[in-house]
Chain A
């Protein structure tokens, strides 16, 4: 047998070619094909494909009549449409399943894709996004390596040494809350950025009023977002020229910016020019490259020049290394100290994958259910074929039905999406459909809609196209191996999703159940304003200590509240020359008491005995780091950030940051005059009342500044936000996936039952029980489900193990979880099988056995 040309393309030719010309054209290309095939079949095939496509010339060889309609007047569009509607109406249950599954999947797809798009387009609205880079710093000392999102402010002063850099802008987020006084009301703001005046040259925000080029020239100017303008002046426009008092200095409003898109990492409320008074050594540094220059060039020249300025550090044994990340990568890069919130790329990829899997699963289910239904109307189709319906007309009919189903499903999905977006948004902590443009969502919609409709119609056509098999299909037992395999995949997927949810849940609970070494309950924290003098603060503290409900009042630095990123400082111990870096807290003598942390050796700070800034207490991890006994550390000499002093005590270990990381060595410096406070309240007292009383006293001592406090426990819990959000999303998705796979299974069962109707009838006549029928259905499906689970297990084990490996404190994977979830999934599957078996058992045997 000679080589055969590719069938599909032969068919295509068949389809478009004018019937009268078909024979000789086909003959010609066959002849060439045979000729070429003696050399190389592959080449001949490729040429054949090329030829068939080449022959498609819309102006000469195509058919002149419409291929769709009215070869016979019995089959016109209206009749077909009516028929489609009738099928929809006549099988309400199975059609509801079909449409329900589709709409659920569409809805999930919309949500997931919006989430994915939101994160993928982070900071994508900046005009120069390809040229904006953030400089991050890796600080290395012999003991510690830290990567901070900040860089040295001096980069700005030397940027003319880099010809490829067009502009440098530093952004410094205010460490402390800023008090804004409108003359009528006071507000405390934390999203205040001090920035270089060239801000608008680098970042594209929507300036509603004011000149972006000049707005920040004057040091006492401020730029507001629309939201803030409304808050301060009750209007979102015409605010230029108004004045605000910020930290008791007068500022002129010179610009109004539209609210920051939520997919931006730079979320500011107020912009204030950076100048010598508010400058810090470290800040966010963003570079704008010259057009057509590459970052690689800068990466090469940067270190040399920087090293020249870095002498101070290198002398102390600390090295600084700078890296550049594009503004659009900032959202996905590894989290650094003082960094903006992150999203990891794998997670986004995974979500995208899940979105598509859900969609495809639903489509496969739809097609399965649809073909099952085709079996029911096989006689009808046969009659149509016999009286002369063409394949195209059948295709048109199937296509129309698909359009109707998908249309209904889409309408439901859009409605569902519209009404559930807010609720779901609250549940998973995400605002849906905020930034996705209408055009984009419409595109997603149209693409999924079209692909699905065409695919399902084509599939139905392929199934019914072979007239011979169509006539027999009714009596033939359907094996449907591909569809069964797909069911296996679906179940493996639900198994995986549920198990992953379970493991993540266990890990989260495990982390949150860790004994933290301190007690965050019943502690409130607040901040004293910059302008409050130490004596005012003391007076305030003394008064609230009188409350019976107040147990401890401790004063400390903002970055020393548990859950924050602590300061990192260099230190030397016992005058050894090796400078090292360490996490450092600045606290007063009540810190341990307020947090209920134990002391394991020595003593804690004492205002009568110890000098501020020059007395230190270390934690147990610090002592362990040097391999000392706790007592050995006491009275060692320590020098932190230029302040020399002695270690007087050792505290027990406590998780200053959440147990996502192990406990780091830490130094507590005695610093009783810092800006923040923690107050431990009596757990039995009415906290509302005590806070109200505190506020009254605050107003007396520190007027013109609102009293804003927060609960330490809830602030600290924010560190688990990531896991909690993932968990909610995963629970929702795995619920959906299991429903979809049960639905798919049901479709297969329906088909099996239908194709074996007579067999089942005979078995029943011969005395088969419900159990026998159940067994009959369950036998091959059980094998497939088991196979799916068995294949998924090792992959899942590896994947989850890898995920857990990122956590130093973690659960170990438990085979019992795997077994339990597997059994759970199987039980659900068995329930569906049981339903179908019972239905077959209860059906009238005569109906299925009678033969007309």
Chain B
């Protein structure tokens, strides 16, 4: 499998998912805001950008620069989108987790995860 050696960290996974959620509107700030909104967790600019850089290096996302605007000091945005490789990695991860969850014996956990459980 092409994913060998391309480990996906917990934070990276979250960033990658957020990029997916945002579709065409995924750039630094929007990803940050999305994570903060959905996961209720503070994200620092430094951590976010290095995660995005790593994801790009691993070819899980690709990016292109947008148009210049009047805000942001005239700087262009860099938009990200999830590559096929990235999507594959996410689904493998999800699958692995599900398998692990299912392997937990009945009654071993006092908490039970169900897709609808918030």
Stretch in A21-29, A157-165, A503-511, A512-520 touching the partner: A21-29
A50 to B44, CA, bound (A): 9
When the two chains form the complex, which single residue of A27, A57, A59 contacts B77, counting CB atoms closer than 8 Å?
Answer: A27
Closest to B46 in A: A54
| Set of chain B residues within 8 Å of A23, measured between Cβ atoms | 65, 75-76, 78
| Set of chain B residues within 8 Å of A29, measured between Cβ atoms | 45
Instruction: Check if A814 is an interface residue, CB within 8 A of chain B.
Output: no
- In chain B, positions 48-91 with a C-beta closer than 8 Å to chain A are 49-50, 53-54, 65, 71-73, 75-78
Contact A24 B73 (CB under 8 A): no
A745 to B76, CA, bound (A): 51
Contact B75 A26 (CB under 8 A): yes
Contact of A57 with B46 at beta-carbon distance under 8 Å, contacts A24-B27, A28-B27, A31-B29 already known: yes
Contact B29 A32 (CB under 8 A): yes
Instruction: Check if B47 is an interface residue, CB within 8 A of chain A.
Output: yes
| Set of chain A residues within 8 Å of B71, measured between Cβ atoms | 30-31, 34
Residue with the highest number of chain A CB atoms closer than 10 Å, among B27, B28, B73, B77? B73
| Set of chain B residues within 8 Å of A57, measured between Cβ atoms | 46, 49-50
Count residues on chain A whose CB falls below 8 Å from chain B CBs: 22
Instruction: Check if A444 is an interface residue, CB within 8 A of chain B.
Output: no
Measured CB to CB, the closest approach of chain A to B15, in angstroms, equals 13
Contact A21 B44 (CB under 8 A): no
A173 to B95, CA, bound (A): 88
Contact A60 B45 (CB under 8 A): no
| Set of chain A residues within 8 Å of B47, measured between Cβ atoms | 54
**A55-92 interface mask toward B, CB cutoff 8 Å, 1 = contact, 0 = none?**
11101110000000000000000000000000000000
Closest to A57 in B: B50
Instruction: Check if A198 is an interface residue, CB within 8 A of chain B.
Output: no
Closest to A23 in B: B75
Instruction: Check if A51 is an interface residue, CB within 8 A of chain B.
Output: yes
**B89-101 interface mask toward A, CB cutoff 8 Å, 1 = contact, 0 = none?**
0000000000000
A25 to B72, CA, bound (A): 10
| Set of chain A residues within 8 Å of B44, measured between Cβ atoms | 50-51, 54
Measured CB to CB, the closest approach of chain B to A31, in angstroms, equals 5
| Set of chain A residues within 8 Å of B76, measured between Cβ atoms | 23-24, 27
A53 to B75, CA, bound (A): 20
Contact of A55 with B49 at beta-carbon distance under 8 Å, contacts A23-B75, A60-B54 already known: yes
A21 to B53, CA, bound (A): 9
| Set of chain A residues within 8 Å of B78, measured between Cβ atoms | 23-24, 27
Contact of A26 with B45 at beta-carbon distance under 8 Å, contacts A57-B50, A59-B50, A61-B50 already known: no
When the two chains form the complex, which single residue of B29, B50, B54, B65 contacts A28, counting CB atoms closer than 8 Å?
Answer: B29
Contact A55 B73 (CB under 8 A): no
Contact of A56 with B75 at beta-carbon distance under 8 Å, contacts A21-B53, A23-B65 already known: no
Measured CB to CB, the closest approach of chain A to B112, in angstroms, equals 38
| Set of chain A residues within 8 Å of B49, measured between Cβ atoms | 21, 25, 28, 55, 57, 60-61
A26 to B77, CA, bound (A): 9
A27 to B75, CA, bound (A): 5
Measured CB to CB, the closest approach of chain A to B92, in angstroms, equals 24
Contact A32 B27 (CB under 8 A): no
A59 to B46, CA, bound (A): 11
Measured CB to CB, the closest approach of chain B to A226, in angstroms, equals 61
A313 to B104, CA, bound (A): 87
Contact B28 A51 (CB under 8 A): no
| Set of chain B residues within 8 Å of A31, measured between Cβ atoms | 29, 71-72
Contact B72 A30 (CB under 8 A): yes
Measured CB to CB, the closest approach of chain A to B55, in angstroms, equals 11
Contact B77 A24 (CB under 8 A): yes
**B32-44 interface mask toward A, CB cutoff 8 Å, 1 = contact, 0 = none?**
0000000000001
Residue with the highest number of chain B CB atoms closer than 10 Å, among A27, A57, A59? A27
- In chain A, positions 1-43 with a C-beta closer than 8 Å to chain B are 21, 23-32, 34
| Set of chain A residues within 8 Å of B27, measured between Cβ atoms | 24, 28
A61 to B65, CA, bound (A): 17
A28 to B72, CA, bound (A): 7
| Set of chain B residues within 8 Å of A27, measured between Cβ atoms | 28, 72-73, 75-78
Closest to A27 in B: B75
When the two chains form the complex, which single residue of B53, B65, B73 contacts A26, counting CB atoms closer than 8 Å?
Answer: B73
Contact A60 B75 (CB under 8 A): no
A54 to B77, CA, bound (A): 20
**B11-24 interface mask toward A, CB cutoff 8 Å, 1 = contact, 0 = none?**
00000000000000
A31 to B65, CA, bound (A): 16
Contact B75 A55 (CB under 8 A): no
Measured CB to CB, the closest approach of chain A to B71, in angstroms, equals 6
Closest to A28 in B: B28
A371 to B6, CA, bound (A): 54
Closest to B73 in A: A30
| Set of chain A residues within 8 Å of B73, measured between Cβ atoms | 26-27, 30
A27 to B54, CA, bound (A): 19
| Set of chain B residues within 8 Å of A53, measured between Cβ atoms | 46
A21 to B72, CA, bound (A): 15
A27 to B68, CA, bound (A): 10
Measured CB to CB, the closest approach of chain A to B63, in angstroms, equals 8
Contact B53 A60 (CB under 8 A): yes
A59 to B51, CA, bound (A): 11
Closest to A34 in B: B71
A24 to B56, CA, bound (A): 14
A57 to B45, CA, bound (A): 11
A57 to B27, CA, bound (A): 19
Measured CB to CB, the closest approach of chain B to A80, in angstroms, equals 34
Closest to A60 in B: B50
Closest to B47 in A: A54
**A372-406 interface mask toward B, CB cutoff 8 Å, 1 = contact, 0 = none?**
00000000000000000000000000000000000
Contact A28 B46 (CB under 8 A): no
A32 to B32, CA, bound (A): 10
Contact A30 B54 (CB under 8 A): no
A27 to B78, CA, bound (A): 9
| Set of chain A residues within 8 Å of B50, measured between Cβ atoms | 57, 59-61
Contact A28 B53 (CB under 8 A): no
Measured CB to CB, the closest approach of chain B to A57, in angstroms, equals 5
Residue with the highest number of chain A CB atoms closer than 10 Å, among B29, B65, B71, B72? B72
Contact A34 B53 (CB under 8 A): no
Contact B77 A51 (CB under 8 A): no
| Set of chain B residues within 8 Å of A61, measured between Cβ atoms | 46, 49-50, 53
Measured CB to CB, the closest approach of chain B to A37, in angstroms, equals 12
A649 to B3, CA, bound (A): 113
Closest to B51 in A: A60
A569 to B32, CA, bound (A): 84
Closest to B44 in A: A54
| Set of chain A residues within 8 Å of B75, measured between Cβ atoms | 23-24, 26-27, 30
Closest to A48 in B: B45
A56 to B44, CA, bound (A): 11
A105 to B29, CA, bound (A): 53
| Set of chain A residues within 8 Å of B77, measured between Cβ atoms | 24, 27-28
Contact of A56 with B29 at beta-carbon distance under 8 Å, contacts A23-B76, A30-B75 already known: no
Contact B45 A54 (CB under 8 A): yes
| Set of chain B residues within 8 Å of A26, measured between Cβ atoms | 73, 75
| Set of chain B residues within 8 Å of A59, measured between Cβ atoms | 50
Closest to A5 in B: B73
| Set of chain A residues within 8 Å of B45, measured between Cβ atoms | 25, 28-29, 32, 51, 54-55
Contact B53 A51 (CB under 8 A): no
A-B contact pairs, 14 of them (CB 8 A): A23-B76, A23-B78, A24-B27, A24-B28, A24-B65, A24-B78, A25-B49, A28-B45, A30-B71, A30-B72, A30-B73, A54-B44, A54-B45, A55-B46
Binding site for A on B (CB under 8 A): 27-29, 44-47, 49-50, 53-54, 65, 71-73, 75-78
Q: Which 4 A-B pairs have the closest CB atoms?
A: A27-B75, A54-B46, A24-B78, A28-B28
A27-B76, A51-B46, A54-B46 known, 12 other contacts, Cβ within 8 Å: A21-B53, A24-B75, A24-B76, A25-B49, A26-B73, A27-B77, A28-B72, A30-B73, A34-B71, A54-B45, A55-B49, A60-B50
